[in-house]
Amino acid sequence: MLIRIIAALFLIAGGVALLATIASFVVGKQALLELVFGPVKRSAVDFATLQLGPKPNQYLVCPPGFCQSEPHREAPTYAVSAERLEQAWFEMIERQPRVTRLGSTESAQYDFEATTALMGYPDTVTVRFIESDEGSSMLAIYSRSHYGHSDLGANKKRIDSWLEMTAQALP
């Protein structure tokens, strides 16, 4: 009896997965995600007042004292102007798959959408370039998922990788 119940559950799960796959091809991944989870709600980020939510599907990088919330990682300092750092960042972003620039919310602050390879889950990444007094620069980054509770560390992995690539492109 237990084996029949387990087999039935596997058949139901397989049927749901098959229907979701077919639906994603018919209406598109984004439309299916919006149908299931609702539309993505994006809002402007003010790093000075940003409050992190309770979910672990976000990652914050900030210079000391720049963000109200405690960052997950302190922002590195780059021995270049904020303008040069911004240029290196955009060159790196252009080489990233599934990343789209959404726009600029204010001077030297930009939003991007990065989607996962398999399911196309959208994450929003906000970056702000900050000039320091010594002719060097830093950045603040807030990356967050819109669906689900956990991202299994995807935002952290992405941002740490992008910071490493940006650092490698600079002196």
d(CA 159, CA 153): 10
Quickly name the fold that domain 40-169 has.
TATA-Binding Protein (3.30.310)
* DSSP-H helix ranges across 28-130: 29-37, 82-94
Q: In the structure, what pLDDT confidence band is assigned to residue 2 with cuts at 50, 70 and 90?
A: confident
Domain ranges of the chain: 1-39, 40-169
Comparing C-alpha atoms, which of 73, 48, 46 is closest to residue 58? 73
Q: What is the pLDDT of residue 129?
A: 96
- Can you give the pTM of this predicted structure? 0.79
Which range has the worst mean pLDDT, 9-13, 132-136, 155-159? 9-13
Is the pLDDT at 18 greater than 50, yes or no?
A: no
